Amino acid sequence: MTSATLSISGSAPVTPIRQEIFGYFIEHFHRLIYGGIFEPGSPLSDERGFRLDVADALRELGTGVVRWPGGCFVSAYHWVDGVGPDRKPRFDKAWRVDEPNTFGTAEFIQWCELVGATPYLCTNAGTGTPEEMADWLEYCNSNGSGSWAQLRREHGNVDAFGVPYWSIGNENYGTWEIGAKSAEEWSRYVTESAKMMRRVDPSVHLLTAARADLDWTLPLLKSAGPYLDSVAIHGYWDPLWIDDSPIDYLTAVGRSMQPEQDIRAMRSIIRAAGYENEISIAFDEWNLRGWHHPPGGDDDAIAARDRNDRHETYTMADAVFSAGFLNGCLRNADVVSMANLAPLVNGRGPLFVDSTGIVKRTTYYLMQMYARLLGAEYVESTASSATLDCGDGVHIPAVDAVVTRRGDALVIALVNRHPDAILDCGISIDGVAVTGTAQRTTLTGDSTDAFNSPENPDRVVPTVSQEHMDDGKVTLPAHSITVLEIPQSVAPTVGDWIRGEGQQWREIEPTSSGAKPHVDWAF
């Protein structure tokens, strides 16, 4: 008897998957930038100061889009401090350290080119002004004769950077943020900022900080909606800001479905505001674990931030939760246009970096599998699963699944959340069990608490094998993520659908904005 079933229909709708869903975030916090991606003078860095071992690993990862420079940092950051040859250190009011400003706009653009990432700039909506945002946009994107475009040329960059993604603010709804604002203040501020930025470059994809809260976001959309492409929300489901005591495996995976609840709530708010299929959702900061930064700017408080880099924190719990997060985004691919794992390097990120080298954490391999192996289209499917008891009254499906299409193949992600049990999943297409050999990539560990470290960097790595499926059945190890590629030779009707010789994939017509209607997915 199988523990889960996955049924795929030949008439299932498909939705394009935007690669920006497999994006990242990097901020001027502790060792994310300095001593992370940027370390001038290191034998591991190039002449510009970029860590080449880090760049190699990020190209292998597939970094997609990267958001910078914050985060809380940006709410007191003035971009002019980080351009040109004459730069002076400033006191970083967010993290209470000196910011040297040696890594600024040009360095970020150069680094994005090095690692193959698309740049995404977040603007200062705390101590900054709408005009400051528009000036930065002119500096980056204009080929005109304006003073800011001319300044960029004087700084040695004749061609415009062409940054496609811009966000107004970061968490300005929160009391912790420098320049926090009320809902009314925020709606007017964003409106005027967006108007000014659109006059500089109407082609950019414009986002703004929001939350899955009707009282906050509905007024925002009613006022600024005509100028926006996306609303940006954040989520950390193990808040460790003050007390760095990570939750255990079962508690972590028990929260796997909460991100999708936030997506659905925000979808409803967008619909209520009248912007369905016009404004999308960007989860432009997300991670299971919140960053540890106890209050204060003294040496002890700053040193405590090193705890974010403890290897034993990043286990199979992080990988399995992250798979659930991404599955939720893919099930809502018609409305989720971007997601940015926070951060990319060090802290809670998938790649650990120190002066001697790097360690690829469990989430590195999970993100690599999803970005590199899954198809470009989400395929609606129907799944059922045994229930996993996570304690405290939380019950979730033990097996989570999404189906994608790549060329002539179906590529399926299967997540076994159970900490101990090996589970079977039966896969069928139009009621016929899939039988034959498929390529399988699986990420798991010798325990739920398995992690990678400098001493044991390959404790958790993906394994690739050929899977022979009997009567459509796939065996899933405990606490694992499996990506299964089913070629046309195993399921010939897949090729028929694509060629149009059998049942047809019923692709939904896009709206004028390119968005597609919602596809529900349920266990």
Min mean pLDDT across 123-132, 159-168, 354-363, 428-437 is at: 428-437
Question: How does residue 504 score in pLDDT terms, banded at 50, 70 and 90?
Answer: very low
* DSSP code for 76: G
Domains of the chain: 4-12+378-499 (2.60.40.1180), 18-373 (3.20.20.80)
Question: How does residue 523 score in pLDDT terms, banded at 50, 70 and 90?
Answer: very low
Q: In the prediction, which pLDDT does 506 show? A: 30
If you average pLDDT over residues 28-55, what whole number do you get? 98
Q: Which residues of 341-379 are buried (b: 16+ CB within 10 A; e: fewer)?
A: bbbbbbbbbbbbbeeeebbbbbbbbbbbbbbebbbebbb
Is residue 480 a contact partner of residue 413, using CB atoms and an 8 Å limit?
Answer: no
Q: In the prediction, which pLDDT does 490 show? A: 74
SS3 for 309-332 is: HCHHHCCHHHHHHHHHHHHHHHHC
Q: What is the mean pLDDT of the chain?
A: 93
Distance CA 433, CA 299 (A): 61
Q: In the prediction, which pLDDT does 408 show? A: 84
**Would you state the structure tokens that stand for residue 60, as one six-digit string?**
């292998």
Distance CA 410, CA 182 (A): 47
Q: In the prediction, which pLDDT does 2 show? A: 72
Question: How does residue 256 score in pLDDT terms, banded at 50, 70 and 90?
Answer: very high
**Would you state the structure tokens that stand for residue 287, as one six-digit string?**
């991670």
If you average pLDDT over residues 234-251, what whole number do you get? 97
Q: What is the chain's length?
A: 523
- For residue 241, which phi and psi values (nearest 5 degrees)? -55, -45
Min mean pLDDT across 16-20, 164-168, 294-298 is at: 294-298
Look up residue 110 and give its amino acid: Q
Q: In the prediction, which pLDDT does 413 show? A: 98
Q: In the prediction, which pLDDT does 1 show? A: 58
**Would you state the structure tokens that stand for residue 188, as one six-digit string?**
């007017």
Is residue 183 a contact partner of residue 174, using CB atoms and an 8 Å limit?
Answer: no
88 to 82, 103, 126, 404: CA distances (angstroms): 8, 12, 21, 49
Is residue 49 a contact partner of residue 38, using CB atoms and an 8 Å limit?
Answer: yes
Q: Which residues of 277-290 are buried (b: 16+ CB within 10 A; e: fewer)?
A: bbbbbbbbbbbbbb
Distance CA 121, CA 166 (A): 5
- For residue 356, which phi and psi values (nearest 5 degrees)? -100, -20
Scanning the structure block, which residue is given the tokens 């970020």?
108
Which parts of 142-283 fold into alpha helices (H)?
147-154, 183-200, 214-224, 249-253, 258-272
**Is pLDDT above 80 for 499?**
no
**Is pLDDT above 50 for 491?**
yes
**Would you state the structure tokens that stand for residue 42, as one six-digit string?**
């290191």
SS3 for 128-152 is: CCHHHHHHHHHHHHCCCCCHHHHHH
Q: pTM for this one? A: 0.93
If you average pLDDT over residues 464-474, what whole number do you get? 92
Neighbours of 382 (CB within 10 A): 15
